[in-house]
Amino acid sequence: MGIRDLLLDVAGTYDADKKNAKGLPAQDRLRAVRGEWAHIVPVGFEAAGKGGSGDASKTPWIGVYDRDINRDSKKGLYLAYIFAEDLNTVTLTLQQGVTSLPRELGTGQKRRDYLERRAQALLAGLPDELVEGWRVRPDFKSKVHRARSYESGSVVARCYSTTSMPSEITLREDLWHMAEVLQHAAAVEKTLNSVETSGPPGAKGTGKKKAPVEFQGLDGFRPKDGSDYVARIPKRIIKKSRSHEVLLEAFSHYADERSFVPINKAMHPKDLVLRKDGIEWLVEAKTVKRGNPTKAVREAVGQLFEYNHFLYEQQGHAKPHLLALFTEDIGAYAAYLEGLGIASVWRTVDGWAGSVSAATWGIID
């Protein structure tokens, strides 16, 4: 079940007057969302539905977490679809954890003031073009303290009417956009001045606008076209993120369905090898962070060339086809990689896409 159908199903069947028990359609849907949306959320993300604990929540919600950033709704940053108490709207929001805040803040106005100051500081550090059209203040139509704290803790949001819900593709595009916003916000969060935002519980902000986040290395560079280079990365132990492993698993299943044989056993340090009809593809997988493929592409190029040289050419093996695999669209770099003899494939909101060579080989349609 997709995003649209599941949200509408919950909105149409949820009953806040009943317990959070099995056998209730809406509650069962919320519990099943992790599996239902596993193929929908971006690589490295997971979803979990919340319909209350014991008693049903007045405002049921679904959390969407980047596992490399945070998996706990009680603290930190995450995405959430939160239903209004009247179930007439559901809001996709970049949300701050509420329930692990210091006790001194209480559950009322002091906590809301703190969350609102922090939300404004986070928003000030985000690129304007990334949050254009998302500067929305949620209204969950509830007097419950936690729901009101969710309103204050929202950094950016988009509200959907349950009587005129957008298409499935639009909802998926919005979710993937917010996944990028979350990655940026997590970087901003690390730079926040504690006096401006957290400080002592209940302290007032300075009123100063938060300076834009400073990116490191190539993080802030987004090319409009490819530029020539050959990168070489020295041999070393490479730490793999959860997103990296999830990407490889998803792609392996996809390749298997298309009659390629995916192999990663006894292949270290190679990420993956595909085989079909006596032909071999050397695959290097990379996670794109904050919508910027520059660093991921450079690392993929370096490692593919290095492994091809040392593990194939110098050992007398036939040269493989080279394939770079990414968590999201790499834009102008697809043509750049083609020029280097490297095909590319990336995850999309509704499946997989890739470069000309990947299509020629039958890896993508």
Asked whether the predicted pLDDT for residue 235 surpasses 80, the reply is: no
Judgement on whether residues 164 and 37 belong to the same structural domain of the protein: yes
Which residues are bridge partners to 95 per DSSP? 78
pLDDT digits (tens, 9 = 90+) for 148-167: 999 999 999 999 999 999 99
Question: How many other CB atoms are there within 10 angstroms of residue 169's CB atom?
Answer: 13
The per-residue pLDDT for 278 is 92
Whether residues 353 and 287 fall in one domain:
yes
**Domain assignment of residue 349, yes or no:** yes
Domain assignment of residue 267, yes or no: yes
pLDDT digits over 249-297, tens only? 899 999 999 999 999 887 778 889 999 999 999 999 999 887 789 999 9
Residues 150 and 21 in one domain: yes
> Does residue 341 surpass a pLDDT of 80?
yes
Of 191, 221, 251, which residue sits at a domain end? 191
Q: Which range is least confidently modeled, 18-27, 115-124, 273-282, 345-354?
A: 18-27
CATH of the domain at 307: 3.40.1350.10
**To the nearest whole percent, how much of the chain has pLDDT over 70?**
86
* pLDDT tens per residue across span 119-141: 999 999 998 988 999 999 999 99
pLDDT for the residue numbered 242: 66
Indicate the range of 72-86, 186-200, 326-340 predicted with least confidence.
Answer: 186-200
In this structure, what CATH number is given to the domain that contains residue 88? Answer: 3.30.920.90
3-class SS letters over the chain: CCHHHHHHHHHHHCCCCCECCCCCHHHHHHHHHHHHCCCCCCCCEEEEEEEEECEEEEEEEEEEEECCCCCCCCCCEEEEEEECCCCCEEEEEEEECCCCCCHHHCCCHHHHHHHHHHHHHHHHCCCHHHHCCCCCCCCCCCCCHHHHHHHHHCCCEEEEECCCCCCHHHHHHHHHHHHHHHHHHHHHHHHCCCCCCCCCCCCCCCCCCCCCCCCCCCCCCCCCCCCCCCCCCCCCCCCCCHHHHHHHHHHHHHHHHCCCEEECCCCCCCCEEEEECCEEEEEEEECCECCECHHHHHHHHHHHHHHHHHHHHCCCCCCCEEEEEECCCCCCHHHHHHHCCEEEEEEECCEEEECHHHHHCCCCC
Residues 321 and 172 in one domain: no
Domain identity same for 179 and 252: no
* Mean pLDDT, residues 216-220: 42
Q: Determine, yes or no, domain membership for 76.
A: yes
Question: Does a structural domain hold residue 224?
Answer: no
Residue 162 belongs to a domain: yes
Using one digit for the tens of pLDDT, what is the confidence trace for 293-328?
Answer: 999 999 999 999 999 999 999 989 999 999 999 999
Considering the domain architecture, whether residues 143 and 259 belong to the same structural domain is answered as no
Lowest mean pLDDT, pick from 164-173, 217-226, 309-318: 217-226
Q: What is the pLDDT at residue 141?
A: 94
Give domain status of residue 326, yes or no.
yes
Model pLDDT, residue 100: 84
Residue 123 in domain: yes
Let me know whether 258 and 161 are in one domain: no
Least confident of 36-45, 206-215, 234-243, 321-330: 206-215
Indicate the pTM of the whole model: 0.75
| Model pLDDT, residue 89 | 96
Residue 222 has pLDDT above 60, yes or no: no
pLDDT score of 269: 86
Q: Which residue has the higher pLDDT, 64 or 100?
A: 64
Sort 74 into a burial class: Cβ within 10 Å, 0-12 / 13-18 / 19+: exposed
Instruction: Give me the number of domains the chain comprises.
Output: 2
Whole-number average pLDDT of the chain: 85
Q: Contact, 346 vs 325, CB < 8 A?
A: yes
Residue 216 clears pLDDT 80, i.e. is over it = no
Range of the domain at 144: 3-191
Could you give the percent of the chain with pLDDT greater than 90? 60
Residue 232 resides in a domain: no
Given a cut of 50, whether residue 97 has pLDDT beyond it is yes
